Amino acid sequence: MSTRLQIAPKGPEFSRIVLGLWRLSAWQMSPAERVQFLHAALDLGITTIDQADIYGDYTSELLLGETFALAPELRSRFQIVTKCGIQFPSTQRPHQQAHIYNTSAAHIIASAENSLRSMRIEKIDLLLIHRPDPLMNADEIAEAFSQLQRAGKVSYFGVSNFSPAQFEMLASRFPLVTNQVECSLLHQVPIYDGSFDLCQRLRVVPMVWSALAGGRLFSDQTPQSQRLQTCLSGIAEELGVSVSCVAIAWILHLPSQPMVLTGSSRVKVLVETVQALDCQLSRDQWFDLWRAATGAELP
């Protein structure tokens, strides 16, 4: 399986496994540990980082910025994805009084500029609208994207958690290179609601979050999860890999070629995740997992 993907015709290559820094602040690493962690990711071929302004109550980008300041050689070796468009009350953002979506041009531009400062970088490789905002004006968003691109502040743009109709609407005004959506054996929605069909049609590479359903894939005691645990274990044993490796390979085999986020701080887990790129599931195995997940027979 290809370990890197070009996200746009002349665009940069991203690693298919993406380092999710959603919980960076919760990991409570020392600055030196963070440097070490990023080096470990690079050593595994994980060169793409996923961030958002709001992660860690608006602190995750700051911590990454500190890490880059400490080890400036790291920056150029990563592609940085970050997001904007959600606001909520936070001591980090004293002027925000309510939890809202904000896709005004002013907010998008201010948020991107703030992300640059927080992460201490010159350019965001990929900026995503975090959630579909019922108030999003496609022309206004396109104008903000265009300004950020012309100013050299952001290279590419995409969205997250958008429906196909929302994606096509915004894509009619500005080229989008990804839709980052939730997908796992426990949450197959984008396989069936047209999201991945649209990605394939438009040659857009999706990104997947919560590929292990936040761990529920292995901890839940529902009949569905138990069927899946049995099936995953069997295949993992056959192939001599971990169960999480199999669960991630199941997603990597989708024809829209999703990139997959990892959310762990443990290098051991990153290793297993990257191994999924070498884990060739047969069609029989893939559909066995499908059956275990759905509890149904194929029509």
* Cβ-Cβ contacts under 8 Å for 106 (sequence gap 6 or more): none
CA distance 178 to 185: 21
Per the DSSP assignment, residues forming a β-bridge with 208 are 181, 260
Among 29, 42, 138, 269, binds its own copies (CB under 8 A): 138
Beta-strand ranges (E) seen in the chain are 4-6, 13-15, 17-20, 48-50, 79-84, 86-87, 100-101, 124-129, 154-160, 179-182, 207-209, 259-262
- Indicate left, alpha or beta for 295 from its phi (over 0: left) and psi (-120 to 50: alpha): left
Comparison of 48 and 195: residue with beta carbon closer to its own copies: 195
Restricting to residues 20-59, name those near its own copies by CB under 8 A. Answer: none
Closest CB to its own copies among 70 and 189? 189
Residues in the interface with its own copies (CB under 8 A) total 43
Window 179-238: residues binding its own copies (CB under 8 A): 191-194, 197-198, 200-201
Residues 153-182 that bind its own copies (CB under 8 A): 161, 163-166, 168-169, 172
Contact status: 131 vs its own copies (CB under 8 A): yes
CA distance 28 to 9: 39
Q: According to the binding rule CB under 8 A, does residue 254 interact with its own copies? A: yes
Task: Count the helices and strands in the chain (H runs, E runs).
Answer: 13, 12
Partners of 4 in the β-ladder:
15
User: What is the smallest separation between the CB atom of 120 and its own copies, expressed in angstroms?
Assistant: 29
* Piece of the chain touching its own copies by CB under 8 A; list 3-11, 207-215, 220-228, 286-294: 286-294
143 belongs to the binding site for its own copies (CB under 8 A): no
Q: To the nearest whole angstrom, how small is the minimum distance from the Cβ of residue 148 to its own copies?
A: 20
- Site for its own copies contains 5 (CB under 8 A): no
CA atoms within 13 A on the CB side of 155: 19
| Residues 258-277, interacting with its own copies (CB under 8 A) | none
Catalytic residue among 55, 58, 101, 192: 55
Q: How far is the CB of 255 from its own copies (least distance, A)?
A: 4
Q: Counting contacts by CB under 8 A, is residue 284 touching its own copies?
A: yes
Give me the torsion for CA of 200, 277, 209, 212, rounded to 10°: 130
Q: Which residues contact 110 (CB under 8 A, 6 or more apart)?
A: none
Please indicate whether residue 55 is annotated as part of the active site.
yes
Interface residue list for its own copies (CB under 8 A): 86, 97-102, 104, 131, 134-138, 140, 161, 163-166, 168-169, 172, 191-194, 197-198, 200-201, 253-255, 283-284, 286-288, 290, 297-299
Residues annotated as part of the active site:
55
